[in-house]
């Protein structure tokens, strides 16, 4: 303290000094109470921070698990997609092979006999009744509405049926 303040303190009366002490005492109590409040707020903050860190840890764990699950599902989906693509490619190759074999078969049967006759769908038929039965059975199998159906095949069956029918009449 400077000398001016010392003189002020020295010049003060006993009553003024008591009042100054009282003020300083109250101020210390107020500061101590404020420090206690700050300490409580700080402890509360630390607890909240700990809870927050635990929640963040749990959420990070969930996020990692979900990312792993998503990655696994993506791999699984890609494998399924690859299988489907391979299946469609194989189906296309099989369809082309079937068309080639069908064309070759028609060429072979038509060249063997000017028209497809006894060498076709009605091979081994020896009577009109057998012819009708075979015709109905073939239409059930190759009708275009069926899975194995084909309109070209039905036309060929009809053509051979008419040929065989004239042959038996």
Could you report the per-residue pLDDT of 50-94, keeping only the tens digit for each? 999 999 999 999 999 999 999 999 999 999 999 999 999 998 888
Q: What is the pLDDT of residue 2?
A: 53
Q: Interior CA angle at 98 toward 139 and 138, to 5°? A: 10
The percentage of residues in the chain with a pLDDT greater than 70, rounded to a whole number, is: 88
Are 122 and 128 spatial neighbours (Cβ–Cβ below 8 Å)?
no
CA distance 167 to 136: 18
Query: 147 φ, ψ to 5°?
Result: -65, -45
Question: Does 118 score more than 60 pLDDT?
Answer: no
Neighbours of 139 (CB within 10 A): 15
Q: What is the pLDDT of residue 11?
A: 78
pLDDT digit string (tens) for 94-115? Answer: 888 888 888 887 777 666 544 4
**Among 112, 118, 121, residue whose Cα is nearest residue 150:** 121
pLDDT average, residue stretch 127-142: 90
Q: What is the pLDDT of residue 6?
A: 55
Are 109 and 123 spatial neighbours (Cβ–Cβ below 8 Å)?
no
CA distance 115 to 140: 23
Q: Which residue has the tokens 């069956």?
A: 157
């Amino acid at each position: 303290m400077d000398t001016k303040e010392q003189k002020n303190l020295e010049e003060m009366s006993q009553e003024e000094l008591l009042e100054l002490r009282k003020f300083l005492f109250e101020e210390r109590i107020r500061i101590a109470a404020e420090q206690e409040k700050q300490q409580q707020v700080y402890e509360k903050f630390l607890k909240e921070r700990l809870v927050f860190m635990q929640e963040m840890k749990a959420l990070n764990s969930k996020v990692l698990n979900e990312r792993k699950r998503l990655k696994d599902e993506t791999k699984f989906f890609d494998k399924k997609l690859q299988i489907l693509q391979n299946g469609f490619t194989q189906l296309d190759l099989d369809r082309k092979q079937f068309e080639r074999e069908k064309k070759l078969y028609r060429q072979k049967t038509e060249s063997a006999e000017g028209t497809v006759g006894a060498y076709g769908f009605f091979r081994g038929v020896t009577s009109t009744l057998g012819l009708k039965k075979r015709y109905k059975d073939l239409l059930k199998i190759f009708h275009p509405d069926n899975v194995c159906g084909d309109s070209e095949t039905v036309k060929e069956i009809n053509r051979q049926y008419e040929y065989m029918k004239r042959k038996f009449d």
